[in-house]
Amino acid sequence: MSAVRPTPGLRLWGAVATFAWPAAEVWLSLRARKGKEDPERLNERRGMASQARPDGPLVWLHAASVGESQMALGLAEALTGQRPELHVLITSGTRTSASLIATRRMDRVIHQMAPGDRPAWTRRFIAHWRPQAGVFLESELWPNLIRAAAERGVPMALVNARMNDASLARWARMNGAFRALTDVFEWIGAADARTGQGLERLTGRKPALTANLKLETGGAPPDPEKLAQARAATGSRPVFTAASTHEGEEAILARAHARILKTRPDALMILAPRHPERAGAAAAALASEGLASARRSKSETPDARTPVWLADTLGEMGLWLALSPAAFIGGSLLDKIGGHNPVEAARAGAAVLTGPHTASFDDIYAALRAENAVLTCADEDAIAETVLAIWDGRGPDRDAAARALARLPGGALACTCEAILRLLDAEPRS
């Protein structure tokens, strides 16, 4: 394990992060004021642990937000299943991801908010937790956090690395810094061929091509009692779910549902914002189109006249998808997110709808398109027409999604766990 090789860019970042600590404190305060940070957990952002380190071996998984945290939970379950003595520390950077991890209540899994990328904070964090291995998920690369782990001799891996063309081009402009950071990873696993080829160009190393971990680390199945209650609430109404929506998309979906209601007055849309703390804004977007909503977080259920069930909770996506023959996957109507993972919806048997912007999961969407298992809708009119068609039996072949998913390579979970356990079993570093 070598230290991070200094480059001009990394030196500059380190200096700014070191001496601009008042700005870091202002940043934390502003985020807390906007509801983006839990005020009770701000010290975790400063690298101060809120829990004691458990005895024995500990693997640290560093994630960004909800999608990566879901993947980290799947990895943690697999790792602790193979090594009962192992503890797993998951760090993430959003309140939503923290809430998601809390809902799973997994034994031997600890969550902490990720420390801000200030040298004093990252060193404090590493000194407390002393992980036997550090695992960075996808492209969540923070220079001072990586440097602090390298200084302590923590063996590290980059898993499920996934970058679109824009990300690869951005790192190519900072190739010296990128290579210096990735040189410390003892193992790199790429989620797709494009990322693998891009990483090889940027790093001079050939990463393992593992396939996408998100194909094997989906959400939990719905609770049978909750599913029975939800089915009783929805009855025979035609239902569709709009999953993982973002600001600007709820207004489009509200207009789409208003059009649907003109044809099917009993229709129900289940709207699940990507970040449940945005439920108020989502409800306002619905109200602007005259659509009342029942809030799941308030234990409200829709009556026969309520057109929208606002699913502002975490860990229940499997429940909503089980109710829905059609599922629109958000983050895809506006050109800033690149879509979200459609696998959970496809596996649930729902017909998958998406907007035109799916670059973040283009390999999965390509497989779905090859089997005509996804329907692309550019606007509210297309969404309304497509949902109505699905309810009328004019949607994709119900086996199409299964055929599409079978096209995708598997084995990522076993391959990645094997690599992490090899790091764990390596000789201790000084």
Residues 118 and 329 sit within 8 Å (Cβ to Cβ): no
Instruction: Give pLDDT, residue 427.
Output: 57
pLDDT reported for residue 177: 92
DSSP category for residue 306: -
From CA 136, how far away is CA 28, in angstroms rounded? Answer: 23
Residues 6+ apart with CB under 8 A from 270: 239, 240, 241, 242, 308, 309, 311, 320, 323, 324
**CA separation (Å) from 235 to 217, 268, 332, 386?**
31, 10, 30, 22
At residue 187, the pLDDT reads 97
Contact 358/332 with Cβ under 8 angstroms?
Answer: yes
Provide the sign of the torsion angle of the four alpha carbons 369, 250, 246, 169, taken in this order: positive
CB 232 within 8 A of CB 302: no
Cβ neighbourhood burial of 309 (10 Å; 0-12, 13-18, 19+): buried
CA gap 168, 199 in Å, rounded: 8
For residue 408, what pLDDT is reported?
86
Cα 317 to Cα 321: distance, rounded to the nearest angstrom: 6
Token pair in block for residue 331: 């983050």
Q: Which of 37, 44, 68, 250 is catalytic?
A: 68
For residue 151, give every residue at least 6 positions away whose Cβ sits within 8 Å of its Cβ, in sequence order, or none: 3, 123, 126
Task: Give all domains of the chain, ordered by start, each with its CATH number.
Answer: 8-216+411-425 (3.40.50.11720), 224-407 (3.40.50.2000)
Residues 6+ apart with CB under 8 A from 85: 56, 57
Instruction: Output the CA torsion 232→234→235→238 (10° steps).
Output: -160
SS3 279: helix
Q: Is residue 245 a contact partner of residue 311, using CB atoms and an 8 Å limit?
A: no
* 247 carries an active-site annotation: no
pLDDT along the chain (430 residues), means of 10: 83 88 89 91 97 97 92 96 97 93 92 96 98 94 96 96 87 91 96 93 93 85 92 96 97 98 98 95 97 97 96 93 96 93 93 95 91 96 98 90 87 95 77
